[in-house]
Amino acid sequence: MKKRRGIKKNANMNGWLFSTPAMVLIGIFMVYPILWSFWMSFHKTRGGKSEFTGFDNITRLFGDPVFLKALSNTVLFFSIQVPIMLFFAIIIASVLNKQQLWGRSFFRTAIFLPIVTSLVAYSILFKSMFSIDGVVNNFLLDIYVISEPLPWLTDPFLAKTLIIIAITWRWMGYNMIFYLSAMQNIDPSIYEAARIDGISRWRQLISITIPMLKPVILFTSITSTIGTMQLFDEVVNITAGGPSNSTLTLSMYIYNLTFKFMPNIGYASTVSYVIVFLVVIFALLQFRFAKEEK
Amino acid sequence: MKMLMNKKNLSTIFTYLFLLLATLISIFPFYWMLVGATNESVDIILGKATIGNALMNNVQKFFEQVDVPLIFWNSAKISIISTVLTLLISSVAGYGFEMFRSRAREVIYNGMLLSLMIPFAALMIPLFITMAKFGIVNTHAAVIIPTIASAFIIFYFRQSTKAFPSELRDAAKVDGLKEWQIFIFIYVPVMKSTFAAALIIVFMATWNSYLWPLIVLQSNEVKTITLVISSLASGYSPDFGVIMVGTILATIPTIIIFFLMQRQFVQGMLGSVK
């Protein structure tokens, strides 16, 4: 009995020994900063001095047209881009999920390949491809989809579209791999039975595959949404937030507030808490949604 | 019957056309990058998609404008040190959380998982001030230190540790091995593929990272290749031919790792969902 307690105590000691370095680092570089920026969001900080201003920063948000623009852009980006991307990812995964498909691993690797590019590198590639006389416009003119070159980088609507196209290109294959692997865990006899009953492939996708993929769909939509909410690299490197802030995101606005304009760290922290708020609300909503459907 | 065959053939053709289109779209930017490096900036802007003869000129200009070996070394150094430290700290923690459970640590662990939802934007200002207080802004240490305890990688190691056979650990204990010896001599070799997957995830993330290095690295001699190509491309008339050479150089390491370790890469990605 005594010895057993000794082992238990020993295990507890080892537990602390193994996990302490990570906990200390996370405490310093994660917990402390997030609490600190919470504190700062109620202060006005200029030139090293901070002064408690209560809810001033929060009221300021509602009267700040640039913030409202960045917020609506960010919401627009994730609410449009994430569903489009996941839709294509599911379709492609279900097409690739045929064992007898010729060249299956080639297609899979090719579609997955964009994941190797750095966000900055691919952004620059897209910027050069979508220039006004660039290769994409040339191609679209050649196949008569458009009759004059589209100003991808200078038109607010097209610039947003371009950002959505770019992110979808980079992350679609990544999400596709999750679906593909989940689909391979579905018992093939279910499809066999469906086929015998004369159920179309499209119907099979809607009523068998998608319901069985629900946990993975939830996972990918949460990670993609959180990623898109923090969108920064692409907008900085493709459009620099322009034209006239039409692709400015919250992350980019925070960066500008802190490092480009006259630094107002307190207000920037308040804006950053808007992202925290969005992420938390959104994750909760999705969990709720997934639970109810069950 | 014949009509049925035709319908089937048609759908097969349609499937392949669809896949081919998806493949073309996925691969074209890579082709564009390679071809772009052989063209002059004017031609790139005008959408020339065939091989040109400006490659040597672009390479030469890139090496003139940028101290390539230094910048490449900066990126490599940051990525390698970050990767090694992250794997070390996170694998030890993942092992610790899984093998020795206590109620207190479970609470901490769950709190840590919650921190996965915290956007970096909400951390960067206090982190920057902290680095300034440490006096290490504009050094590589400032890039590395905040990233080495990754909640995600700890989570990944803990999940994978569930598959570690406990008989091995028990046997080692009978043989009188201490816990840290079990970790180094048994756990690490057995979990090789988990380490490989984590290595890829962390290396790619640090090699490609942009926002945090952009904030803390300010002078040219400490910048990474990602920062350099971004600043080359941000002017009013960027020289795209030269930049393409840079993007190729920035992509080579990750593409090599991808093709050498594709299986571990995919396993690592998926392993985190289980």
Q: What is the ipTM of this complex?
A: 0.88
C-alpha–C-alpha distance, residues A120 and A236, integer Å = 9
Task: Report CB contact under 8 Å: B270, A177.
Answer: yes
Give yes or no for a contact between A218 and A71, defined as CB atoms under 8 angstroms apart: no
Chain A residues 213-252 with a CB less than 8 Å from chain B = 216, 219, 226, 229-230, 232-233, 236-237, 240, 250-251
Cα–Cα separations (whole angstroms), residue A27 to A60, B71, B252: 31, 32, 35
In the DSSP assignment, the letter for residue B1 is -
pLDDT at residue B105, rounded to an integer: 86
C-alpha–C-alpha distance, residues B87 and B239, integer Å = 39
Query: Mean pLDDT across the stretch A180-187?
Result: 85
Kindly report whether the peptide bond that precedes residue A21 is cis, defined as omega within 30 degrees of 0: no
**Nearest residue on chain B to A102, judged by CA atoms?**
B16
Tell me if chain B has a CB within 8 Å of the CB of A200.
no
Q: Look at residue A4 and tell me whether its pLDDT is greater than 60.
A: no
B38 half-sphere exposure, CB direction, 13 A CA radius: 10
**Nearest residue on chain A to B101, judged by CA atoms?**
A15
pLDDT at residue B88, rounded to an integer: 93
The residue behind tokens 């995919």 is B266
10 Å CB burial of residue B67 (0-12, 13-18, 19+) is: middle
**Nearest residue on chain B to A219, judged by CA atoms?**
B273
Residue type, B13: I
> What residues does A43 pair with on adjacent strands?
A52
pLDDT at residue A43, rounded to an integer: 83
Of B32, B95, B251, the CB nearest to A18: B95
Task: Report CB contact under 8 Å: B118, A173.
Answer: no
Q: In chain A, which residues have their Cβ closer than 8 Å to the Cβ of B184?
A: none
Give yes or no for a contact between A41 and A270, defined as CB atoms under 8 angstroms apart: yes
C-alpha closest to that of A60 among A78, A47, A41, A74? A41
Phi then psi for residue A46, to 5 deg, are -145, 130
pLDDT in tens, A91-137: 999 888 887 788 888 998 899 999 889 999 999 999 999 988 888 98
Give yes or no for a contact between A19 and B93, defined as CB atoms under 8 angstroms apart: yes
Give the pLDDT band of residue A163 (cuts 50, 70, 90). Answer: very high
Q: How far is A263 from chain B (nearest CA, A)?
A: 11
Per-position DSSP letters for B203-260, written without gaps between them: HHHHHH--HHHHHH--SGGG--HHHHHHHHHTSSS--HHHHHHHHHHHHHHHHHHHHH
Query: Mean pLDDT across the stretch A265-288?
Result: 86
Give yes or no for a contact between B242 and B232, defined as CB atoms under 8 angstroms apart: yes
Task: Report CB contact under 8 Å: B119, A279.
Answer: yes
Q: Look at residue B254 and tell me whether its pLDDT is greater than 70.
A: yes
- Would you tell me which CATH number, out of the four given (1.10.3720.10, 3.90.550.10, 3.40.50.11290, 2.30.29.30), belongs to the domain A57-293? 1.10.3720.10
Task: Report CB contact under 8 Å: A259, B215.
Answer: yes
A128 half-sphere exposure, CB direction, 13 A CA radius: 38
Size of interface A-B (CB pairs under 8 A): 256
Give the pLDDT band of residue A2 (cuts 50, 70, 90). Answer: very low
10 Å CB burial of residue A91 (0-12, 13-18, 19+) is: middle
b/e map A202-211, b = 16+ CB within 10 Å: eebbeebbee
C-alpha–C-alpha distance, residues A170 and A121, integer Å = 11
Interface test with A, best of B17, B158, B210 (most A CBs within 10 A): B210
Tell me if chain B has a CB within 8 Å of the CB of A122.
yes
Of A117, A133, A268, the CB nearest to B45: A133
Q: In chain A, which residues have their Cβ closer than 8 Å to the Cβ of B240?
A: 128
Tell me what the pLDDT averaged over chain B comes to.
87
Helix (H, G, I), strand (E, B) or coil at B136: coil
Residue type, B217: L
Q: In chain B, which residues have their Cβ closer than 8 Å to the Cβ of A169?
A: 25-26, 29
The residue behind tokens 């998609």 is B49
Q: How far is A124 from chain B (nearest CA, A)?
A: 7
Query: Mean pLDDT across the stretch B131-145?
Result: 92
Query: Backbone dihedral region of B228: left (phi > 0), alpha (psi from -120 to 50 degrees) or beta?
Result: alpha
C-alpha–C-alpha distance, residues A184 and B231, integer Å = 44
Structure tokens at B34: 């390679």
Task: Report CB contact under 8 Å: B124, A254.
Answer: yes
**Nearest residue on chain A to B234, judged by CA atoms?**
A237
Structure tokens at B253: 């390491």
Give yes or no for a contact between A108 and B19, defined as CB atoms under 8 angstroms apart: no
Tell me if chain B has a CB within 8 Å of the CB of A206.
no
pLDDT in tens, B71-108: 999 999 999 999 999 999 999 998 888 888 888 888 88
Give yes or no for a contact between A153 and A130, defined as CB atoms under 8 angstroms apart: yes
Structure tokens at B59: 């390479």
Task: Report CB contact under 8 Å: B127, A232.
Answer: no
Cα radius of gyration rounded to whole Å, chain B: 24
Phi then psi for residue A45, to 5 deg, are -120, 120
**Nearest residue on chain B to A29, judged by CA atoms?**
B146
Residue type, A47: G
Task: Report CB contact under 8 Å: B115, A34.
Answer: yes
A44: part of which helix (H) or strand (E)? strand A43-46
Give the pLDDT band of residue A74 (cuts 50, 70, 90). Answer: very high
Query: Backbone dihedral region of A103: left (phi > 0), alpha (psi from -120 to 50 degrees) or beta?
Result: left
Helices (H), chain A: 2-26, 32-40, 56-62, 65-96, 104-112, 119-129, 135-142, 156-184, 188-196, 201-204, 210-212, 214-229, 233-234, 250-255, 265-293
Query: Mean pLDDT across the stretch B129-157?
Result: 90
Per-position DSSP letters for A50-96, written without gaps between them: EEE-TTHHHHHHHT-HHHHHHHHHHHHHHHHHHHHHHHHHHHHHHHH
Q: How far is B87 from chain A (nearest CA, A)?
A: 11
Of B19, B95, B151, the CB nearest to A95: B19
pLDDT in tens, B1-39: 455 557 777 878 888 999 999 999 999 999 999 999 998
pLDDT in tens, A228-258: 988 999 999 999 887 889 999 999 999 998 8
pLDDT in tens, B109-128: 888 888 877 888 888 889 99
The residue behind tokens 């690299």 is A233
Q: In chain A, which residues have their Cβ closer than 8 Å to the Cβ of B126?
A: 32-34, 36-37, 40
CATH 1.10.3720.10 residue ranges of chain A are: 57-293
Q: How far is A255 from chain B (nearest CA, A)?
A: 8
Q: In chain A, which residues have their Cβ closer than 8 Å to the Cβ of B44?
A: 128, 134
